[in-house]
Structure 1
Amino acid sequence: MNPLELFEKWFSEEKQASKLKLPAACCLSTIGLDGYPNSRFVSLKEVTEEGFVITGPLNSRKGTEVEETPKAALSFWWTETQRQVRIQGDVTKVSTHKARKYFNERNRSSQIVSFGFQQGKKIESIKYLQNQFNQKIIEFEGKEIECPETWSGIIIKPTRIEFMRFKETRLHERKLYSRVKNTWEISILQP
């Protein structure tokens, strides 16, 4: 089975079994500008034939890191099905058309935050942040919010995908799919 299809199957099974609000939450790891790994939780938007799509501001820390070193990793942990998926791959940007589509699917508050704030920048206080947000709500009342030029999506094109099914015996089942040229090689790994 193609590993992207296997991922979709496992993801679907977790969504059916889970009562979690955010089953698409995953840990995105990038190579920091200072050489240290950098991880944060993001939301998977879509799985395409090309790979795994996440979105956000390109001028954020994650955006500048993947611009400098276009490689990333995603990790998923699904409690209900006791499964983990780890993905490593090369990063490319989605098209402008796709970025706008993803932006338009966001709820209004998320659009306001994406348009009116610079992710990760220092601020005076939480109160200042709330006041700025309230002003943006008034400013955009009754108006469509355009996708900012600094906001887009990235695709992580997998070179390796590891699937691990946890077992009570600790003899976890691990399969590693590695892309070699245009085919997937499968290895069974020890727990």
Structure 2
Amino acid sequence: MNPLLLFEKWFSEEKELSNLKLPAACCLSTSGLDGYPNSRFVSLKEIKKESFVITGPLDSRKGREIENHSKAALSFWWTSTERQIRIQGDVSVIPKSEAEIYFKQRNRDSKIVSAIFEQGQEILDISYMQKLFKEKKAALGNKEVEQPNSWGGIYIKPIRIEFMEFKKSRLHERKLFEQASSGWKMTIIQP
């Protein structure tokens, strides 16, 4: 069984039952530059080339962490279906041409934020940030927002995926898929 197909099935079932505004939200974990794990919520764009696609500024903390240690983890928790999926994998940068497509799909305000701010860097105060945003938005008018050079995306090619279905009995069903030389190997693990 291909765990990526199972992921897509579970994701589809969650979207059918859920009224979540961001059903593709997931927790991306990386190895911090200071040795501490680092996690943040991001949005899954799609599964492509047998990998999970995440986008954003590559010069951000997460981008620098991935450049330093090209392994990451994703965690999904879906409340409607009471399912959790944990993914560990190897990271590579998506081609610039693909990043351009994802950037064009973003809403205008998100594009403007990406164009004028350096994610995670210090700023004087919130009102200054809001003023800067309003000024840039007004200056742009109806012009297209250019994609910053630092904005791109990553593939996370899984080596391990765990699916967990929560049960009222507390006998949660867990299936662990691991990459082996002959393809995916599945084991059932205890709750």
Spell out, residue by residue over 1:126-145, the C-alpha distance to the aligned partner (whole angstroms, 9 max, x if none): 00000010011012112111
What runs of 5+ residues in structure 2 fail to find an aligned partner?
none
Report the number of matched residues.
Answer: 191
Corresponding position: 1:179 with 2:179? yes
Alignment partner, residue 128 of structure 1? 128
Given the two structures, how large is their TM-score scaled by the length of structure 1?
Answer: 0.98
Amino acid at match of 2:111: Q
Provide the residue aligned with 1:10 in structure 2: 10
Per the TM alignment, residue 149 of structure 1 is displaced from its structure 2 partner at its CA by 1.0
Name the TM-score, length of structure 2 as normaliser: 0.98
Range with bigger deviation, 133-142 or 84-93? 133-142
DSSP-derived class of the 1:146 partner: coil
- Aligned residue in 2 for 1:65: 65
Aligned: 1:21 with 2:21: yes
Indicate conservation of the 8 Å contact 2:174/2:189, yes or no. Answer: yes
For the residue of structure 2 that corresponds to 1:167, the secondary structure is coil
Amino acid at match of 2:160: R
Give me the identity figure in percent. 63
Alignment gaps of 5+ in structure 1: none
After the TM superposition, which segments of 4 or more aligned residues of structure 1 sit over 4 Å from their partners? none
**CA contact 2:175–2:187 (8 Å) conserved in 1:** yes
Amino acid paired to 1:87? I
Q: Give the letter aligned to residue 170 of structure 1.
A: R
CA distance in 2, matches of 1:106, 1:181: 38
- For residues 82-121 of structure 1, what are the structure 2 equivalents within 5 Å? 82-121=82-121
Q: How far 1:182 moved relative to its partner? A: 5.2
Indicate the SS of the match to 2:9: helix
Aligned position for 1:52:
52
Conserved 8 A contact 2:99-2:152 = yes
